[in-house]
Structure 1
């Protein structure tokens, strides 16, 4: 049997961080994301993990006789969906961009407004033992928020879908990791 049993990854922990677009990452994977104070953690994430989805249009072209000779790809879209379990100010800002929160005399007030566009940078940091992977999304935006349940039988959770925007070189995101099996020659 070919392959290496040490290569499959089971991401046992994860964090999602957000910051204004163009915020620098920590200098190395050994540096915690919080060493750059503008990166803010969203808090606890659902054990269901994160999911990445791809969507694009394809058009197939055939030669006479029905032989497939080419496929045109266009309108590529990539998203990552994650469920946040905490109701904190970072999540509030992602769910309700353009809204405000204030505290006066021990009373918190959250004023929710119609959402505005709010492009941000994101980092999804994954852990498998000593292996760390940081997926840096330089420009993305929360474009969908799932239904929020308010009940005594289910946790309140915020399912967020991040739409990833490419940069001028068509780069969607960059993965950084310390996995020796991924070392480029």
Structure 2
């Protein structure tokens, strides 16, 4: 499996993993007598939701794009601004024994952040919904793995 370029790690994710959602409009067209002859699809949208379990600078940047952190004499000051649009690439990595699976999203953006609990008794977690944008060839993402069961055969 090829190496992935240096990425900024979000850190640990919830054991619930990631969930993918699809949303699109469809219009059905029927011939005389009610026979379905075509379905037109439009406004396709794909999202992936993960829950980050760490409160690090990468997560802070995803939750608060355009905001800043400054450190002086051991004190961190986070200046939180109204979020700005910030597209970036993402990679999700899942390991199962010797099998490594990566989903490479060339262009995505955190478009929703779930409610964050500010409590001494609860784990602070950040539910992030990433909207995936297609490239000029309509490619949304690449799934890359080293699973021999999924290898393409030639011929």
TM range (shorter): over 0.9
Q: 1:16 matched to which residue of 2?
A: none
| Cα distance, 1:148 vs structure 2 | 0.4
Instruction: Single out whichever of 103-112 and 64-73 deviates more from structure 2.
Output: 64-73
Distance of 2:122 and 2:73 partners within structure 1: 31
Choose the corresponding residue for 2:75, options 84, 100, 107.
107
TM-score, length of structure 2 as denominator length: 0.95
Distance of 1:122 and 1:103 partners within structure 2: 27
5 Å-filtered alignment, 1:19-168, equals 28-29=1-2, 31=3, 33=4, 36-37=5-6, 39-168=7-136
1:76-131 deviations in whole A, cap 9, x for unaligned? 11000000010100000000000000100000000000000000000001111111
| Cα distance, 1:151 vs structure 2 | 1.4
Distance of 1:128 and 1:52 partners within structure 2: 19
Distance of 1:82 and 1:48 partners within structure 2: 8
Q: CA RMSD in A?
A: 1.0
| Cα distance, 1:65 vs structure 2 | 1.4
**Unaligned runs of at least 5 residues, structure 1:** 1-27
**Unaligned runs of at least 5 residues, structure 2:** none
Distance of 1:122 and 1:60 partners within structure 2: 35
TM-score, length of structure 1 as denominator length: 0.80
Q: 1:25 matched to which residue of 2?
A: none
| Cα distance, 1:48 vs structure 2 | 1.0
Between the two proteins, the alignment pairs up a number of residues equal to 153
1:29-71 deviations in whole A, cap 9, x for unaligned? 4x3x4xx34x111011111110011111010111111111110
Q: 1:4 matched to which residue of 2?
A: none
Please say if 1:175 is aligned against 2:143. Answer: yes
